[in-house]
């Protein structure tokens, strides 16, 4: 099989244990435009009914997932194989970050495959021996505890940086309220604070009023937000009047 430099990498889950984790990995992949998953000897067989709900809609990845008996068979058509792991004792291979791996894969000829090991133990030395490069995520040395989906999403994200993926849709914000509405809200609040004897000592009143005005004009309130807050103030004033009656 031939591929050009823009062909997305294959995600290979080696001896995955839980269907839920396979589904979560599929979800992570599809978020960043990766769709080809290969499974090597999944512990609970395949298909796994627990994978679907965990995939949260990434059904195309699960539906097209292929199962292999060995890692060698899973990467047979991929000249560029990366093993996600820490450096293994006795294994001397180049070590790259996910960002460096993404750059390499884009410039390479032929398919690239990324190996992810079982949830509890990770890839074995024999698995890593099949790879040309070790892919390691820089992580807190005092707490290195990435789960399978987290590892997949980190690698997939770095790949996605070179893709023309759509950003989440922007939601239009309400226009800022006219200053007249803000003045009405500020005046209402000041009147309530005056009734509650908030302004004390009296010589600090101008400074306190300026602080309140700065606070209430800074966020760029929308008309709806102004109406909502004034409704709150009116409700508080009504509750106080009832208690005084």
**Interval 60-85: pLDDT, tens:** 999 999 999 999 999 999 999 999 98
Q: What is the SS3 string spanning 168-237? A: CCCCCCCCECCHHHHHHHHHHHHHHHHHCCCCCCHHHHHHHHHHHHHHHHCCCCEHHHHHHHHHHHHHHH
pLDDT digits (tens, 9 = 90+) for 2-31: 444 468 999 999 999 999 999 999 999 999
Of 175 and 31, the structure prediction assigns the larger pLDDT to 31
Q: What is the residue extent of each domain of the chain?
A: 10-160, 179-244
CATH of span 10-160: 3.40.1280.10
- What one-character DSSP code corresponds to residue 159? H
- What one-character DSSP code corresponds to residue 41? S
């Amino acid at each position: 099989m031939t591929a050009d430099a823009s062909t997305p990498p294959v995600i290979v889950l080696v001896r995955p244990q839980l269907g839920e984790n396979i589904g979560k990995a599929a979800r992570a992949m599809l978020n960043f435009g990766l769709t080809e998953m290969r499974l090597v000897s999944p512990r609970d067989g395949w298909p796994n009914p627990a994978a679907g709900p965990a995939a949260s809609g990434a059904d195309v990845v699960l539906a097209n997932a292929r199962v292999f008996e060995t890692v060698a068979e899973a990467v047979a058509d991929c000249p560029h194989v990366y093993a996600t792991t820490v450096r293994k004792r006795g294994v001397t291979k180049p070590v790259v970050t996910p960002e460096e791996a993404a750059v390499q894969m884009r410039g390479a000829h032929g398919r690239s495959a990324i190996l992810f090991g079982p949830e509890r133990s990770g890839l074995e030395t024999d698995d890593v021996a099949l790879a040309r490069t070790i892919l390691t995520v820089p992580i807190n040395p005092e707490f290195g505890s990435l789960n399978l989906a987290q590892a997949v999403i980190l690698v997939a994200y770095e790949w996605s940086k070179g893709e023309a993926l759509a950003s989440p849709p922007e939601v239009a914000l309400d226009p800022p309220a006219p200053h007249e509405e803000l003045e009405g809200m500020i005046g209402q609040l000041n009147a309530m604070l005056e009734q509650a004897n908030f302004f004390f000592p009296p010589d600090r009143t101008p400074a306190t009023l300026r602080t309140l005005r700065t606070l209430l004009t800074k966020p760029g309130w929308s008309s709806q937000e102004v109406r909502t807050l004034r409704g709150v103030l009116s409700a508080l004033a009504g509750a106080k009047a009832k208690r005084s009656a």
